[in-house]
Structure 1
Amino acid sequence: MDAKDYLKDINEIKTLMNKSSRFISLSGLSGILAGTYALIGAAVVYWLVNTYSNGTLILDGRIFRLVMLVLAGVALLSILTAVTLTIQKANKNGMKMWDSTSKRLIINFLIPLVAGGLYILIILSHGKYGQTGGLMLVFYGLALINASKYSIGDIRYLGCIEITLGLIATLLPGYGFWLWVLGFGIMHIIYGTWMHFKYDVKN
């Protein structure tokens, strides 16, 4: 066996080790759909606030509760879509959906996300909601980066973009809504499309 064969074997071993330590069945299409849901939800929120609240969102008002319901609906649809499409891709590739790697992925994703969600709820209870959109982006970006070591490493770049947009939103709270739309809507569609053609189409 010559040097080329040894290098080939080493590369194959590295590939197998990488696959065994990373959950690679995430679907790019789920990112596209999540971004679409976010844009639809943002359009509904924009219409509600400007039609019934004169462009001002009151924390304890009925419109605020409707806005929270819309955001919860967007999150739920995104999660269900991601789980469904990921299961389909895992089955197609002959991989397990629920194993030690996927468990680590979910745990590492949820830690900053849940902590951020609780923090946002706390500041909302104190009547401070001007930076909510920015905080959502920052904690979501941290969750993506934290989970990237157990999944497709490319998602950490999306995480960095989300954090950057979130920090800009905290500096410019008047643009928080539009930066939220850019981060959760447009960037998801762009990144999901790129991931779909880079990973899904080849499979």
Structure 2
Amino acid sequence: MDNGLSKAERTRQFIIETTAGIFNTKGYAGTSLSDLTDATHLTKGSIYGNFENKEDVALAAFDYNLSKIRKQIVQRIQKAANYHDKLMVYAQVYHSFNGASFPTGGCPILNTAIEADDTNTLLKAKAAKAVADWKKDLNALISGGIDAGEFKADTDIDRIAYSIIALIEGGIMIAKITGHPVNLDRVLITVESLIVQLKNN
């Protein structure tokens, strides 16, 4: 934690970091106030002194979980030499979705989208924005690759971007539901093939 933060900010950050894995694993509806107090060893008053309600904590936890993934992606993209390698980062990062650096409980976008569909508009909006931002980032990389002459000029940018997202999120769902991470790895090979096909040979 950042020592430059005030005591209240540090407490708020502690609550977010401590409960993020619980919300991502059990979901918003499945996470109780006692789960939060047990994990943080704080009182109900301490938690609600920093957040309006349980939903407010869940929204902050979603942002925290998403930021963990985005940080890894951004760091790797900055090191990539070309647009092909930058796009490949997405397949590489999600290969390790069961690793220690990935949020506990898996992909927060998938978990939140499935649970919040039509039941929690604020969480659903968070998941929708995350997908929109992801698509925007992919569009920028694909467009950059086209402009640099790396990718074919007639590439359907939106189709490729949505396909990459759908394959990754669908692969995670299949891996989780079957209990076999190798099933995601199989799907990520398809993501890699899709990216290779963009190359302007």
Q: Do the two structures share a fold, i.e. TM-score over 0.5?
A: no
TM range (shorter): 0.3 to 0.5
Higher relative contact order (CA 8 A, sep 6+): 1
Report the TM-score, using the length of structure 1 for normalisation.
0.34
